[in-house]
Amino acid sequence: MTDAALQFSEDDKIGRVASVDTSRVAIDVANSQLLTRIGIGQLVAIRGATEREYLISMTERVTRTVREELPDFELTGEDGGLLATVPTDLIRAVLIGTFRTVEGAKSNTFKRGADSFPQIDRECFVIEGANLQRFMGILGAGFSEDERLKLGTFVADRSADAIASGDKFFQRHAAILGSTGSGKSWAVALILERAAKLKFPNIIIFDMHGEYAPLADKTRDGFACRFRIAGPGDLEKPGDDVLFLPYWLLNRDEMLSMILDRSDQNAPNQASRFTLHVRTLKAETLDVERRDSVKKTFTVDSPIPYDVKKLVRLLEADNTTKGVGKNGPVKGEWEDKLTRFLSRLEAKLDDRRYGFMFAPPDQAMSYDWLTEQVLKLFASDDRSGIKVIDFSEVPADVLPVVTGTLARLLYDVQFWMSPKDRTPVTLLCDEAHLYLPVRDDADVVQRQALGSFERIAKEGRKYGFSLLVVSQRPSDVSRTILSQCNNFLALRLTNETDQGVIKRLMPDSLAGLTSILPLLDTGEALLLGDAVLLPTRIKLDIPKITPDSATRDFWKEWGTLQPQNHAIQSAIECLRSQTRI
Ligand SMILES: Nc1ncnc2c1ncn2[C@@H]1O[C@H](COP(=O)(O)OP(=O)(O)O)[C@@H](O)[C@H]1O
Ligand SMILES: [Mg+2]
């Protein structure tokens, strides 16, 4: 059979199976010459039950131990008493799949999982050169043309394209993890660039540092739309690209997480009065808008505009109204119980950093405004399917509220869309450790936001809503969310705690592969998950439009640039006014 993709000669033979332990095999190496070329992650074929079948494994550990042996009596004669040192070369490999030269009508097939256990003494061959090239070709060809996502080339063979299933990659959440400078942002730009080639991509990027702005730069052939969250300077005359999240979009729990102090003994009273009044005010709006059918079933959580000043007045009335007793006025039921709640609410209303929420422009108070805003974010027509939302001006303490509320809102809209009209949406969470923290480390507000993302991670798949989580500190990212991810693009990761997280997310059999994580070159990644047939080490392609990394050349700049007094002066004014000019 000359068209078999794997054709081994005597030179490719590395040794024989010495022991088998469920998914792992130990190979006794006979060809020591070949061993010196073998690294972690090398593919080794083990002859299967028939001539046409090979079990494919990946090396996980390569060892040479030296043992001492009595010398051969024949050769050394009677008095040659010295012990001789003999090397024992062993390879430990993980079984990952089965290759068949012929399978039914098909030829050269590869599938995940080993169909049978390798038998002791079976021959093992290193897959390299032309064999590797043909084998990699088979891996990519396994996906149909319209689901292919080309990410780069295989490190083992740079002439073979590394292709993942774009469907599977986005379907059940994915994560891009790696230390700073390992190439995450470039990987994101690359994936977005690939997606932009499709007719109706729908990806919303939470851009924490404004580094994806070039992707929306039309003069550089940018393909994305860009929005930003309103900063204190945008409140007067917001531009078209400015997003608001008026308070009335928040559900009860989101709102209370910001203004209720649960340790206050009056907290239950405060929460119940708040709930009652908000519901009443929303009902009033529905009356004015004549939305009778909505009014029948709406809840306090429904995003319906109401006037927060009226809410304050109602709460103030509660807080000051006396009760009526038999002998004149008595202490009112809510009297003085809402003081602290009111002052916390008013502090938020006055804080200009919260302007995007509590000082929305007039149009953002109208009933139809929400539809317009969501239409912008969900749009996918000519060159607008990739939407970058710039959060770089949002203060850190407000970040969880904004990201959480926005994510929940978008997810809710997708949830309520009729299944037959629904199209898939992905939310790309850059620098996820900033707002998707491990639950134990989270405060009330963060926990509220986290809840929204965790819900998406758990249920999103059913509604065609997925997350692409990007982080340099996987150990600081919610485990619930990471454990729901089915695909990982793991770049260089130097921190041991972070490596441990990835190791635990891997199936047991692949955990050994994570040992190469600290050794990966910039732009190199381990691609794991159901979007690829094999876990593979790939070199990512370079995106056409690269993100702004804002990396400064300290040494060079110290040699040429002097700090400017006027720049410092105006920075201080910006700090005071909380706006950038
Ligand atoms: N695929 C790649 N090929 C070559 N160089 C890359 C690649 N990806 C990133 N780099 C280099 O690494 C630097 C840091 O990449 P970046 O994506 O900003 O890292 P991160 O987001 O992980 O901090 C880039 O400025 C670029 O010089
Ligand atoms: Mg980055």
Torsion of CA 68, 74, 78, 79, to 10 degrees: -40
Do 265 and 235 fall within a single domain?
no
Strands 53-69 and 43-47: antiparallel
3-state secondary structure 296-352: HHCCCCCCCCCCHHHHHHHHHHHHHCCEEECCEEECCCCCCCCHHHHHHHHHHHHCH
pLDDT of residue 166: 94
Do 186 and 320 fall within a single domain?
no
pLDDT of residue 516: 87
Do 256 and 234 fall within a single domain?
no
Measured in Å, residue 484 CA sits from the centre of ligand 1 at 26
pLDDT of residue 550: 67
- For residue 174, being part of any structural domain is answered with yes
Q: What is the span of the domain harbouring residue 503?
A: 161-246+360-572
pLDDT of residue 1: 46
Q: DSSP class of residue 398?
A: T
- Whether the Cβ atoms of residue 101 and residue 21 lie closer than 8 Å to each other: no
Best mutation site among 549, 551, 552 for ligand 1 pocket (most ligand atoms within 8 Å of CB): 549
- For residue 402, being part of any structural domain is answered with yes
Do 425 and 480 fall within a single domain?
yes
Do 369 and 474 fall within a single domain?
yes
The number of folded domains in the chain is 3
Q: Establish whether residue 152 lines the binding site of ligand 1, counting it when its CB lies within 6 angstroms of any ligand atom.
A: no
Do 208 and 65 fall within a single domain?
no
Measured in Å, residue 185 CA sits from the centre of ligand 1 at 7
Nearest to 455 by CA among 491, 480, 430: 480
Best mutation site among 522, 524, 545 for ligand 1 pocket (most ligand atoms within 8 Å of CB): 522
Do 305 and 400 fall within a single domain?
no
pTM: 0.88
Q: Establish whether residue 32 lines the binding site of ligand 1, counting it when its CB lies within 6 angstroms of any ligand atom.
A: no
Q: Establish whether residue 185 lines the binding site of ligand 1, counting it when its CB lies within 6 angstroms of any ligand atom.
A: yes
pLDDT of residue 36: 82
Do 240 and 278 fall within a single domain?
no
How far from 465 is each of 166, 181, 351, 527, CA to CA, in Å?
A: 15, 29, 33, 22
CA distance 510 to 22: 13
Q: Establish whether residue 184 lines the binding site of ligand 1, counting it when its CB lies within 6 angstroms of any ligand atom.
A: yes
- Whether the Cβ atoms of residue 73 and residue 55 lie closer than 8 Å to each other: no
CATH number at 176 reads 3.40.50.300
Nearest to 400 by CA among 454, 460, 362: 454
- For residue 1, being part of any structural domain is answered with no
**pLDDT of the chain, 581 residues: tens digit per residue:** 457 888 998 889 999 999 998 888 999 998 888 888 888 788 999 999 888 899 999 888 888 888 777 766 666 555 556 777 777 889 999 898 899 988 888 888 888 888 788 899 999 999 988 898 888 888 877 788 889 999 999 887 788 888 999 999 999 999 999 999 999 999 999 999 999 999 999 999 999 999 999 999 989 889 999 999 988 888 888 888 899 999 999 999 999 988 998 888 989 999 999 999 999 999 999 999 999 999 999 999 999 999 999 999 999 998 988 888 888 888 888 888 889 999 999 999 998 888 899 999 998 999 999 999 999 999 887 667 999 999 988 878 788 889 999 999 999 999 999 999 999 999 999 999 999 999 888 888 888 889 999 999 999 999 999 999 999 999 999 999 999 999 999 999 999 999 999 998 887 777 778 888 999 999 999 999 989 888 888 999 999 999 987 678 899 999 999 999 999 999 999 888 777 76
- For residue 495, being part of any structural domain is answered with yes
pLDDT of residue 581: 66
Atom of ligand 1 nearest to the CA of 539: 1
- For residue 535, being part of any structural domain is answered with yes
Residue type, 490: A
Ligand nearest to the CA of 179: 1
Q: How many CB atoms lie within 10 A of CB 433?
A: 19
Locate the DSSP E strands across 194-262: 203-207, 224-229, 242-243
Atom of ligand 1 nearest to the CA of 186: 17
The two tokens of residue 507 are 């199936």
- For residue 148, being part of any structural domain is answered with no
Do 383 and 482 fall within a single domain?
yes
pLDDT of residue 72: 65
- For residue 156, being part of any structural domain is answered with no
| Nearby residues of 482 by Cβ (< 8 Å), 6 or more positions away | 175, 469, 474, 501, 505
pLDDT of residue 398: 80
Neighbours of ion ligand 2 (CB under 5 A): 184-185
Last residue of a domain, one of 282, 310, 341: 341
Q: How many CB atoms lie within 10 A of CB 330?
A: 12
**How are the residues of the chain apportioned to helix, strand and coil, as percentages rounded to the nearest 5?**
40, 25, 35
Do 284 and 165 fall within a single domain?
no
Do 376 and 336 fall within a single domain?
no
Measured in Å, residue 549 CA sits from the centre of ligand 2 at 7
Atom of ligand 1 nearest to the CA of 542: 1
Measured in Å, residue 449 CA sits from the centre of ligand 1 at 30
| Nearby residues of 65 by Cβ (< 8 Å), 6 or more positions away | 87, 88, 90
Do 316 and 242 fall within a single domain?
no
